[in-house]
Amino acid sequence: MTVSFAATDREICTPLPVLGHDVRVPLVTGGEVTYAALDYAASAPALQRVWDDVAAYAPYYGSVHRGAGYLSQLSTDLFEQSRETVAAFLGCRADDQVVFTRSTTDSLNLLAAVLPAGTRVFVFETEHHASLLPWERAEGAEVTYLAAPRTPEQAVAALDVALHAAPKGPKLVCVTGASNVTGELWPVRELAAAAHRHGARIVLDAAQLAPHHPVDVAALDVDWVAFSGHKLYAPFGSGVLAGRADWLREAEPYLAGGGASRKVARRADGGVDVEWHTTAARHEAGSPNVIGVYAVAAACKALTEAGFDRLVSREQQLLARLREGLAEVPEVRVLSLFGEDAPRVGVLSFVVQGWNSSHFAAALSAEYGIGVRDGLFCAHPLVRTLLGGEPDAPGECGAPEAVPGERSLNAIRVSFGAGTPDEHIERFVRAVRELVRDGARWKYRTEDGRCVPDRG
């Protein structure tokens, strides 16, 4: 059964239409303004195309893999077609499996749960916590944390040395495709080659890469890739783990329950015997999130049809304007691991001399209607390395409390993508310039660890 709930054909414009593009928010200084969403790295707004496609399907919603009725069969077909769409979007190999999860974090925890006994895992300290933390929880795994490299070449050389020194046995390398802090692209193809030279496998955290840049599993020669729908312009809480099937097929199911089991029978001794699926269903127990999965597939189609060459070109133009604008403000220091000329996606973090980052981000929101992120971005070791141990300046609002014995560190992150209008970047640059030159126009205070306008 071929299933399609795509909304009527529409001409793709620049930028891509997203939900919330016309939302108005109040300013503490009076009046209101169209909200400038510049926190795509946390969650990107849903594409209008995705929302329309999901709305068109919603009346036909039914249980997946569970019913004989028409809507159930239709939903099952839609679910499995979505798997094929995602596999094509990622350039998967013919024998790869696409497993649907809740998020990138869930995907990487799933992979950690299926590691063969005694696997040695190699991960750079620069990773997001989603790809930094799951591995020590894997039974019998041994984790090696590699120091932050300062060039892509250093990253490849450090991995080469570490793998060469490792004893025989299963090995896994985990690396990001694009940093969620600096936006810098990592040398994924070269790291994959180094891993395979030493008999290791590699998983790519593409959470920040896939929304901005084409990801081709076969061309990059990675063994697995993980990403989240909510960063790919798709709501409803779905993620993907795609790649080699053998470790997934041979491990115990990630969750035990219906859908993962093929056959369950009582034994004479009172227990049960279970035959588990060997397909992706093995790790998809429970009723699947068909709405979320279809949203991911719709986003993959929308980005493919828009053309990544066009999307990347426009994003790089916005990034150039952003960097030029910030370079005109001497008090701003942009954070970088690989250097100023390193290629990056639309993610950039910085600090401002004389300002606490929480205070600056709060002023951008309250006085200009601009939403950014401040903090350590779930990449604490990396941000601390990039800040060199220098604390934010004290201000009316402090950063979240530091751990005992450590001074408070914090940064500001601005991130954008296919739905960002030029005006949002221009407004952001203008706001930074004005705040540095004139200061905040409002009083702020700390409330529950956050800097907020003082309305008392």
| HSE (side-chain half, CA atoms, 13 Å) at 48 | 17
Strand spans (E) along 267-317: 272-276
For residue 163, what are the contacts with CB-CB under 8 A and spacing of at least 6? 122, 171, 173, 194, 195, 197, 198, 200
Residue with tokens 């203008």: 430
Range 69-78, long-range pairs (CB < 8 A, 24+ positions)? 73/1, 74/1, 74/3, 75/290, 77/1, 77/2, 77/3, 78/3, 78/5, 78/290, 78/294
**Beta-strand relationship, 239-243 and 97-101:** antiparallel
Separation in Å, CA 388 to CA 330, 381, 392: 19, 11, 11
Rounded Cα–Cα distance for residues 228 and 241 (Å): 9
**What 3-state class would DSSP assign to 448?**
coil
Give the count of beta carbons closer than 10 Å to the beta carbon of residue 234.
29
- Tokens standing for 34? 């169209």
Rounded Cα–Cα distance for residues 50 and 47 (Å): 5
Identified catalytic residue from 174, 378, 397, 451? 378
Q: Are 32 and 26 in contact (CB under 8 A)?
A: yes
**What 3-state class would DSSP assign to 146?**
strand
Check if 92 is active-site: no
The residue among 351, 410, 358 whose CA lies nearest residue 384 is 410
Q: Are 46 and 303 in contact (CB under 8 A)?
A: no
Would you give the DSSP letter of residue 130? Answer: H
Q: How far is C-alpha 51 from the chain's CA centre?
A: 20
Catalytically annotated residues:
378
